[in-house]
Amino acid sequence: MALIVQKYGGTSVGSVERIEHVADKLIDWRKRGHDLVVVVSAMSGETNRLFELAHSISEHPVPRELDVLLSTGEQVTIALLSMALHKRGYDARSYTGSQVHILTDNAHNKARIREIDSQRIHADLKAGRIVVVAGFQGVDDEGNITTLGRGGSDTTAVALAAALKAEECQIYTDVDGVYTTDPRVVPQARRLDRITFEEMLEMASLGSKVLQIRAVEFAGKYNVPLRVLSSFEEGDGTLITYEEEGMEEALISGIAFNRDEAKLTVLGVPDQPGVAHKILGPVANANIEVDMIVQNIAEDASTDFTFTVHRNDYRKALSILEDIAKELGAREVIGDDQIVKISLVGVGMRSHAGIASTMFETLAREGINIRMISTSEIKVSVVVDEKYLELGVRALHEAFELDQAG
């Protein structure tokens, strides 16, 4: 008998029928003797409907009121799910973020959880109740309703699991786990039984949209075992946890990729201290997020400075850079928005040399030219022309034998 926190996303509670299905699943777990705390999102489509209502009134709805509005989405789901449980003869209680004191900072629309008062939930569990909590929302210390930003329900679930010292936090979604890469690109892609928090962070930030990245960070920080599994199919999903002694360690866990990248290069930048800041400062001020950054050694007292941004920000970044280039006396600004990033991720890299060279060799064999390289302790990323994405990912998946259990 363990305490388990489960989270069901918008698609899993997208209709009355699906909510009934979730109720059935919960009762199965309950019958196996587990204590359950359930976090739910708004029914799919509901958050968009509310957004549209807000935007039909104001192009820039005031953030505090947007949170008051959006938080009703999850509130509807918790009530309906609790009703479905009661109908089946199980005692359940629903709580909004405010009711269980999911205390956040006051950054409306993107608040961060500070603290959760778990007393009330423990009392309900003791009384044999299933506790149903609205995801995505909290309350600041003045009692204002806050939301955690899109996908924030994952974070709510992990934060609750941490506060309640749950045995496991299970994220039910429409995929049945984390894969070695996107199965739409590589049909042989294999579901991973386990992955580490760090690997998951690299995978998530690189475009595997299974879990909200903040939720993974949170789970890692508080060491909450996190499991991704399907709410529609049976199966054990993928467990995200810390490396354990004796845990069978794959060299590479997966291949992530990102189609939404564009790269920009300032050529012939005078090689002076502070030049990186002079280039990236104005870009950051324009709220453009920078991903990879590469600067090569200087030749002839000048250097080339390259970075990637989201493709949507390409034009804006280009025009900012052209101004900066003039100021700095750089030679030229060039760019390309037809590129993609492919990354190998795996904690096994730490102890194994030669991963990067196998990667480069594999790509070369396929005639794929590498435009940029960047590495971290558990990741090697390359930028290649967009047209090579599928070819590159498939070749790497095969080269590292990811279709076979590690």
> Where along the sequence are the contacts to a second copy (CB under 8 A)?
16, 19-20, 50, 53-54, 56-58, 61-62, 64-66, 68-69, 71-72, 75-76, 78-80, 82-84, 86-87, 93-94, 96, 98-99, 143-145
3-state secondary structure of 347: helix
Nearer to a second copy, 75 or 208 (CB): 75
**Least distance in Å: CB of 159 to a second copy?**
20
- Residue 258 host element (H or E): strand 254-258
CB of 263 to a second copy, least distance (A): 39
Q: What is the DSSP letter of 179?
A: B
The nearer residue to a second copy, 66 or 224, going by C-beta atoms, is 66
- The smaller minimum CB distance to a second copy, of residues 124 and 261, is found at 124
> Under a CB-based contact definition with an 8 Å cutoff, are residues 221 and 165 in contact?
no
In sequence order, what are the residues at sequence separation of 6 or more whose Cβ sits closer than 8 angstroms to the Cβ of residue 59?
A: none
CA-only gyration radius of the chain, Å: 24
Six-digit token pair at 35? 């204590």
Secondary structure class of 378 (helix, strand, coil): coil
Query: What does the alpha-carbon distance between residue 200 and residue 216 come to, in Å, rounded to a whole number?
Result: 7
3-state helix, strand, coil in the chain (%, to 5): 35, 25, 35
In the bound complex, what is the minimum distance in angstroms from residue 91's beta carbon to a second copy? 9
- Residue with smaller CB distance to a second copy, 135 or 177: 135
DSSP string, 287-319: TPPEEEEEEPPPBTTEEEEEEEEEGGGHHHHHH
| Closest approach of a second copy to the CB of residue 82, in Å | 4
Considering beta carbons, is residue 102 or 383 the nearer one to a second copy? Answer: 102
Question: What are the structure tokens assigned to 99, written together?
Answer: 């009711």
Tell me the closest approach of the beta carbon of residue 132 to a second copy, in angstroms. 9
- Compare residues 74 and 313 and give the one whose CB is closer to a second copy: 74
The residue among 88 and 150 lying less far from a second copy, judged by its C-beta, is 88
Question: Cα–Cα distance between 66 and 75 in angstroms, integer?
Answer: 15
Shortest distance in whole angstroms from residue 119 CB to a second copy: 12
Tell me how far apart the alpha carbons of residues 337 and 259 are, in angstroms, rounded to a whole number.
10
Left (φ > 0), alpha (ψ -120 to 50) or beta: where does 213 sit? alpha
User: Shortest gap between Cβ of 41 and a second copy (angstroms)?
Assistant: 15
